[in-house]
Structures are given as C-alpha cells and as structure tokens.
Amino acid sequence: MRAVAVHRLRRLALDQLEMRLLDRIRLIGHEVGFGRGWRERAVRQRFCGALLRGLRTWRLVLLRLLTLRLFCRGGIDCGWALRVGPVHTLLASPRCCIRSLVAPSPEVRQGTPSAVLGNPRMTFVQRLGAAARLIDQRLSELLAECGPEKGERLAAAMHHAVLGGGKRFRPFLVVESAALFGMAPEAALDAAAAFECVHCYSLAHDDLPAMDDDDMRRGRPTVHKAFDEWTAILAGDALLTLAFEIVARPATHPAPATRAEIALVLAHSAGGRGMVLGQMLDLAAEKRGEPAVPSAEHIRRLQALKTGALLAASCEAGAVLAGAKSDERAILRRYGEWLGLAFQIADDLLDAEGDAAVVGKATGKDSTAGKATLVSLIGIAAARDELAKAVREAERILAPFGDQAATLVEAARFTASRGN
Ligand code: IPE
Ligand code: IPE
Ligand code: MG
Ligand code: MG
Ligand code: MG
C-alpha cells in the first residue's frame, strides 16, 4: 500500500515538474521569438542559450527522465529537436547541440505545419489552401476530442457545419498574424480553430429560415436543410461553446493570461457588441425596415459588426497569442477592421454579380430581400471603389512591418479578388 502511495506521489511530482518545465520551454520559445524566425541562426542560438540557462536550475536526474518525449510533446515546432536527442545530451554538449540546431534536416520538418507553410515558393492561394487543410485536420481532431460522441446526431450536424468546405480565412488570419510576431503555425492552430468554430456557428444560424433562409452553403445543403432547424440551432450553439472550450484548454497557449485574453477578444467580437449586434442591424433593416433609409454610415457600421468584428479579432488574436506589444496589437486590429469592411463589400458584390455554382451559395438574394448593403445604396461601380479603398487602407496600415507582412498584405488583396 505504502509503496503504491509513494509511487503515485512520485508520479504526481514528476508530472507537475514536467508540466512546469514544458511551460518554461514554451515561454522561452515565445520570448526569443521562436517560430517564424526559427530559420534565422541567431534566433535558434538565442533559444538554445535561454533554454540552457533556464534548465540549469533543474536537477539533472529529472532532465534525464524527461528527455526527448518532453521536447516532442512541447508543441513549439521543435521537430528539429528530434535530432538533438535527450535533454541531458543537450546539457552535456551544448555546442554540438547548437550546431545541429543550426542545420535542421528537411526530412525531420517534413509534414509539420511549419514545414508546410514554410515553403517560400508557394503562391498566396496555395498558402491559404495549405493552411485550410491544416485547420481542417485540427478542427476534425478537436471535434473528436471535445465534441459530442461520434454517432450522435448533434456530432454529425456540427461536423456538417464545420467540415467540407470554407476558405478558413479567419483561422488563416490568426495563424499569419501570429507568424508576423514569430509564432510557429502549430502553436496558433488551436486558437485559429476556435475562431473558425464561431464563424461556422454564425453561418449555420445565418442560413436559418428565420434569418437569411438559405439552402446552399459551401456548395452543399445548409445545416438545417441537411438536418432540420432545431438541429441546426443546437449545432450552432454547441460550436459557439466549443470555441471557448478550445480557447480555455492549456494546449491553446501555455500562459493562462493569454488564453483569457484570447477569450475576451473572441467574446467581444462575437457577442452583443460585435457580430450578433451586426446581425440584428442587418435583419432589422431587411425585415423591419429600420431605419427606413439606411445611410452609408449605418451600413458601414452594420457590416463592421456582423463581419468585420470577427475578422479584426482574428488578426488581433494572432498578435495576442504571439505576445505582440500593445501598439503592434492595435495595428493588427486596425488592419483587420479595414480587411473586414473589404470582405463584406466583396461578399455583397459576389451576391450581386457572382455565379452561384462558383460562389457555393445562392446569389442575387440581397436585393430581393431588401438587405442594406453598400452595393444597393451606391451601386456596383462605387462599391468597387470603396472595396479598393478599404484594401489600400489595410495595406497602408501594415507598412511599419515592411516585407514581414507580405502575406497579410496579400490577404487584404485577396478579399477583393476572391471568387467565393
Ligand atoms: C461568409 O464568409 C460570410 C460572411 C461573413 C461574408 P466566408 O466567405 O469566409 O465563408 P466561408 O467560410 O469561406 O464559407
Ligand atoms: C453573414 O453575412 C455574416 C455572418 C454570418 C455573421 P451574409 O448573410 O451576407 O453572409 P452570406 O452571404 O450568407 O455568406
Ligand atoms: Mg446574413
Ligand atoms: Mg446570409
Ligand atoms: Mg452575403
């Protein structure tokens, strides 16, 4: 009995130490800007130096026990650590380890999100597609881990709402905004997935007969068409809740304060001062004729809330996740706001001019329904000008980051050129 108790206590203590050490390694990674900058020799050397200094305080015997397993579970893009070997090797021969870190083998990194998105030859669209596949994979895992049991009707409806289409633009923005501040894509994937869950819930509800009454979404039947209305409502509810469960999980970020901050950013953008209020204004204009003649200002506000809020929050969340400074965070937010405006004008233009087969949802509905859009107020040509202006503003705001922000600049341009 006593031996079992002692063994359990020892295991518990080890688990605790392991978790603390893991957190420490992750934080060191964040502090030295580990992630996007990992290819730079100086970043890796800084990481190693900080790691070695941090580890010196730990007992060697424990470090031996933690070994490679710890590195591999770290989730900090340490595929290259596989070549380093056990932690005690790192301690015993730091120089040799640093040398091996400086030249990570491609085969070790192959298949990791960093490797997939680290290919400099990819075009923007290829990059967005590659990120979408990574997000799909993570969403599917998270649904299996945290969603209802497989076989439940609710699980199938959530699956339908989330998987099988979608550009994954919001999670892409989370990942790319985090990358701007040196975070590896794998470290941003969970938070990114949470933003997509909120987006997918909003689409399932937006398509309901009581709202936009749509039958097609992403080239497939909408959730209430594939299932029924009450299932679509409940699947949406569960997705919204799941988003916050994902954000709260330690796997999303090692620092509880950062997770709380992400939850705050997400909640604020999705709720009654954000997307839901925007949807209220959108439907009040359409169904109640309020206001009787919506002004351009009213429409911009409505669109900033219903669409811009979550997009801006995705950019801001990436910055928060990667530990950006408050002024950098504010830049990302402003960029996301212009991007959001552009995104909804483009959506309205696609509704007015797009081909339903390409867009993946019914088109030509906004004017019939009497939606308050800039297209209906100022016409297609002027709306195009507004769209171009919003894209230019988004680009201009990123100027302080220079070439580092090239992908986000392209993301802004993409909002205007997209075909769905
Ligand atoms: C559609 O969003 C709804 C809007 C907010 C305009 P997306 O165009 O991002 O839709 P998916 O996720 O790619 O299907
Ligand atoms: C949807 O706007 C905004 C949200 C889902 C919050 P729309 O109603 O214009 O989007 P689509 O055209 O149905 O995708
Ligand atoms: Mg709508
Ligand atoms: Mg709609
Ligand atoms: Mg629309």
- Rounded (10°) angle between helices 185-206 and 153-162: 110
Q: Are residues 360 and 383 in the same domain?
A: yes
Global pTM? 0.78
DSSP state, 252?
Answer: G
Last residue within a domain, chosen from 83, 103, 123: 103
Q: Are residues 97 and 111 in the same domain?
A: no
Ligand 2 neighbourhood includes 279 CB (under 6 angstroms) = yes
Q: Are residues 212 and 127 in the same domain?
A: yes
Ligand 2 neighbourhood includes 281 CB (under 6 angstroms) = no
Q: Residue 371 is part of a domain; what is its CATH number? A: 1.10.600.10
Ligand 1 neighbourhood includes 100 CB (under 6 angstroms) = no
Q: Are residues 96 and 173 in the same domain?
A: no
Q: Assess contact for 239 and 245: CB atoms under 8 A.
A: no
Ligand 2 neighbourhood includes 366 CB (under 6 angstroms) = no
How far apart (Å, rounded) are the C-alpha atoms in residues 305 and 332?
A: 17
Ligand 1 neighbourhood includes 278 CB (under 6 angstroms) = no
How far apart (Å, rounded) are the C-alpha atoms in residues 19 and 24?
A: 8
Choice from 169, 172, 305, 351 to test ligand 1 binding pocket (greatest atom count within 8 A of CB)? 169
Q: Are residues 327 and 183 in the same domain?
A: yes
Choice from 125, 139, 201, 203 to test ligand 1 binding pocket (greatest atom count within 8 A of CB)? 203
Choice from 167, 203, 216, 222 to test ligand 2 binding pocket (greatest atom count within 8 A of CB)? 203
Q: Assess contact for 139 and 163: CB atoms under 8 A.
A: yes
Domain residue limits at 236: 105-417
Nearest alpha carbon, ligand 2 atom 12: 347
Ligand 2 neighbourhood includes 269 CB (under 6 angstroms) = no
Ligand 1 neighbourhood includes 206 CB (under 6 angstroms) = no
Q: Are residues 70 and 139 in the same domain?
A: no
Q: Are residues 48 and 140 in the same domain?
A: no
Residue 211 Cα: closest atom of ligand 2: 8
Q: Are residues 83 and 161 in the same domain?
A: no
Q: Are residues 84 and 205 in the same domain?
A: no
- Non-local (6+) Cβ contacts of 39 within 8 A are 118
- Count of domains for the chain: 2
Expressed in angstroms and rounded, the spacing between residue 384 Cα and the centre of ligand 1 is: 19
Ligand 2 neighbourhood includes 222 CB (under 6 angstroms) = no
Expressed in angstroms and rounded, the spacing between residue 222 Cα and the centre of ligand 2 is: 13
Residue 275 Cα: closest atom of ligand 2: 6
Last residue within a domain, chosen from 103, 127, 155: 103
Structure tokens at 379: 């016409």
Torsion of CA 187, 193, 194, 200, to 10 degrees: 170
Q: Are residues 63 and 202 in the same domain?
A: no
Expressed in angstroms and rounded, the spacing between residue 370 Cα and the centre of ligand 5 is: 12
Please list the pLDDT of the chain residue by residue as tens digits (420 residues).
Answer: 566 666 566 555 555 555 555 555 556 555 555 544 545 556 655 666 666 555 555 544 455 445 434 443 433 333 333 333 334 444 444 444 433 333 344 434 457 888 888 887 889 999 999 999 999 999 999 999 999 999 999 999 999 999 989 999 999 999 999 999 999 999 999 999 999 999 999 999 999 999 999 999 999 999 999 999 999 999 999 999 999 999 999 999 999 999 999 999 999 999 999 999 999 999 999 999 999 999 999 999 999 999 999 999 999 999 999 999 999 999 999 999 999 999 999 999 999 999 898 899 999 999 999 999 999 999 999 999 999 999 999 999 999 999 999 999 999 999 999 988
Q: Are residues 60 and 167 in the same domain?
A: no
Q: Are residues 159 and 302 in the same domain?
A: yes
Last residue within a domain, chosen from 103, 119, 145: 103
